Amino acid sequence: MNGFLIDENLPLPTALPTTLPIVHSRQLGAQPSDSFLWQHAIAHELVIVTKDADFSERIQLSGPPPRIIHLRVGNMRRTEFIQWLYKQWPAIEAALPQHKLVNVYHDHLELIA
């Protein structure tokens, strides 16, 4: 795991409690396709962070890489979302080595090996 790829449907966090690089999909071009992001994540050993169910469905049909963090929370204001994600991040990152999919709900994690 070399870092995190933030999907375009999420705001780019200004900081997360990680030492790994964070890349936002917008840095890879205008509206890159899910397939492009998937292949980019594999090639660069990145974990995809998304709200898109397509990535969760795809990882369940195949093994990692990449690993997926699926944020399953409703709409929040940007500031509230970033604060929530920041608080959840240590548990999320700790779960990644043993799990291909980390579903993150407002109040708990669902881990899929």
pLDDT digits (tens, 9 = 90+) for 40-93: 999 999 999 999 999 999 998 887 899 999 999 988 898 899 899 999 999 999
Question: What ranges do the domains of the chain cover?
Answer: 3-112
Q: What's the pLDDT tens digit per position in 91-103?
A: 999 999 999 999 9
- For the record, the structure tokens of 40 come out as 């980019």
Stretch 20-43: mean pLDDT:
92
What is the average pLDDT value for the chain, to the nearest integer? Answer: 92
Q: Are 16 and 22 in contact, with CB atoms under 8 Å apart?
A: yes
Q: Which residues of 52-88 are buried (b: 16+ CB within 10 A; e: fewer)?
A: beebbebbeeeebbbbbbbbeeeeeeeeebbeebeeb
pTM across the whole model: 0.93
